């Protein structure tokens, strides 16, 4: 594959305190750019990380024709670099692209150019267990035109950000609150696509949740405000009578790669998994009668996020005494063991650099 590379004169990696990283604040030396012009993806370029320049009229800013992804690379015990499930993230990027009329990209172009960037910036993959290099691919519409139409030109980019373990003091349970006025995504909308619009819709309710002392919003369905959807940055699983119940992928929630990985591990371990609609009332009833064992979120950033409390209207439930549950811990341990190369990759999830 042809790729044009302009390297930095001097790496910034030694200026970064790799032991004190906040999520998404520090970026590696280089970035990848692939422009889509005249109906095709052009030669990839790797450039020093820095500002990009566009006219104020680009469609992405005015009408939101933008998608993104988020995956990770891990430093293994034997000094190699593992990328977790790149094919799966790439498939989702193309699904999001189709929903937003953005051109798809071949896996080879996506993967090979990502690998070139990772090789160049491999010293940016933190070595501590729990730490990783977050990979953020994104595509945005670049036509200079403020009429509403599908853009003809696009830019694909990847930037890299070293990140610490999500929970510094182990897996800290989060507090969720349901939202009864606002919705994240309605059937037929953008809920199944990884696109900034879904996040824009969630900011105001998210702020209100924070003011009330909650970590995040637990979204309910747009039609009846009854069925549980997801948390907006993570999918959600309930363990009821030792069976995992999680909302189905019917277009309003994002198809999480971590969700898929956890359900696979659960099924292989003989744990019952039920992908079905579940109401908030059912969850509260299960908490009441003692059959709600655990609740946890799944997402690339935290892997597993145990849920300690849920507030719905004027009722609050405490889950598993506000402590992490056995299954949540098991899934965290199993997924991270594969990511860090501590356990054999029996599912074919790892690509080693």
Ligand X SMILES: *Cc1c(COP(=O)(O)O)cnc(C)c1O
Nearer Cβ to ligand X (240/254): 254
Q: Which two tokens stand for residue 61?
A: 């800013």
CA distance 335 to 298: 11
Residue span binding ligand X (CB under 6 A) among the ranges 18-26, 33-41, 165-173, 228-236: 228-236
Question: Coil, helix or strand for 235?
Answer: strand
Instruction: Report 76-105 residues binding ligand X (CB under 6 A).
Output: none
Q: Provide the minimum distance between the beta carbon of 250 and ligand X in the complex, in angstroms, as a whole number.
A: 14
- Based on the shown chain and the rule CB under 6 A, indicate whether residue 234 belongs to the binding site for ligand X: yes
CB of 300 to ligand X, least distance (A): 3
> What is the smallest separation between the CB atom of 232 and ligand X, expressed in angstroms?
5
Task: Provide the phi-psi class of 270: left if phi over 0, else alpha when psi is between -120 and 50, else beta.
Answer: left
54-73 residues near ligand X, rule: CB under 6 A: 70
CB atoms within 10 A of CB 10: 9
Taking residues 143 to 172 in sequence order and writing x for each that binds ligand X by CB under 6 A, - otherwise, the string is ------------------------------
193/327 with CB nearer ligand X? 193
Cα 209 to Cα 161, 179, 216, 344: the distances in Å are: 27, 9, 6, 41
Least separation in angstroms between residue 5's CB and ligand X is 29
Residue window 291-310: x/- pattern of binding to ligand X, with contact defined by CB under 6 A: -------xxx----------
Q: Which of residues 106-135 bind ligand X (CB under 6 A)?
A: none
Q: Which two tokens stand for residue 101?
A: 């009329």
Distance separating alpha carbons of residues 5 and 145, to the nearest angstrom = 30
Of residues 171-200, which lie at the interface with ligand X (CB under 6 A)?
194, 198
Residue closer to ligand X (CB basis): 234 or 295? 234
Which residues pair with residue 135 across a beta bridge? Answer: 71, 160
- Least separation in angstroms between residue 51's CB and ligand X is 26
Min dist CB 246 to ligand X, Å, is: 12
The correct pick among 235, 305, 336, 339 for binding ligand X (CB under 6 A) is 235
Cα–Cα distance, 197 to 22 (Å, whole number): 24
Instruction: Encode burial over 279-317: b for 16+ CB neighbours within 10 A, e otherwise.
Output: ebebbbebbeeeebbbbbbbbbbbbbbbbbbbbbeeeeb
CA distance linking residue 316 with residue 97, whole number of Å? 39
- The Cα–Cα gap between 72 and 334 comes to 16
Backbone CA torsion sign across 14, 20, 22, 23: positive
From the list 82, 258, 293, 305, which residue makes contact with ligand X (rule: CB under 6 A)?
Answer: 258
Which residues sit at the interface with ligand X, rule CB under 6 A? 70, 194, 198, 230, 232-235, 254, 256-259, 298-300
């Amino acid at each position: 594959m042809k790729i044009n590379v302009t390297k930095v004169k001097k790496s910034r990696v030694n200026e970064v305190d790799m032991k004190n990283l906040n999520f998404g604040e520090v970026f590696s030396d280089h970035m990848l750019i692939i422009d889509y012009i005249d109906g095709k993806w052009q030669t990839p370029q790797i450039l020093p990380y820095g500002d990009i320049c566009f006219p104020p009229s680009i469609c992405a800013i005015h009408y939101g024709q933008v998608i993104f992804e988020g995956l990770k690379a891990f430093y293994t015990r034997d000094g190699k670099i593992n990328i977790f499930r790149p094919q799966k993230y790439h498939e989702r990027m193309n699904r999001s692209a189709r929903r937003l009329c953005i051109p798809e990209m071949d896996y080879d172009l996506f993967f090979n150019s990502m690998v070139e960037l990772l090789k160049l910036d491999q010293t940016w993959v933190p070595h501590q267990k729990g730490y990783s290099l977050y990979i953020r691919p994104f595509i945005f519409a670049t036509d200079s035109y403020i009429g509403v139409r599908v853009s003809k030109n696009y830019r694909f980019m990847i930037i890299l950000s070293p990140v610490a373990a999500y929970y510094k003091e182990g897996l800290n349970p989060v507090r969720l609150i349901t939202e009864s006025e606002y919705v994240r995504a309605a059937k037929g909308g953008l809920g199944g696509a990884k696109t900034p619009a879904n996040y824009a819709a969630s900011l105001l309710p998210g702020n209100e949740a924070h003011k009330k002392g909650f970590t995040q919003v637990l979204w309910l369905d747009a039609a009846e405000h009854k069925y549980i959807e997801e948390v907006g940055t993570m999918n959600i699983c309930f363990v009821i009578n030792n069976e995992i119940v999680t909302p189905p992928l019917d277009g309003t929630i994002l198809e999480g790669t971590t969700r898929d990985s956890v359900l696979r591990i659960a099924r292989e371990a003989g744990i019952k998994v039920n992908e079905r609609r579940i109401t908030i009332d059912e969850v509260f009833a299960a908490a009441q009668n003692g059959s709600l064992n655990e609740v946890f979120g799944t997402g690339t950033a935290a892997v597993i996020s145990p849920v300690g409390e849920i507030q719905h209207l004027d009722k609050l439930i405490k889950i598993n005494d506000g402590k992490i549950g056995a299954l949540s811990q098991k899934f965290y341990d199993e997924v991270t063991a594969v990511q860090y190369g501590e356990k054999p990759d029996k599912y074919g999830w790892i690509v080693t650099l």
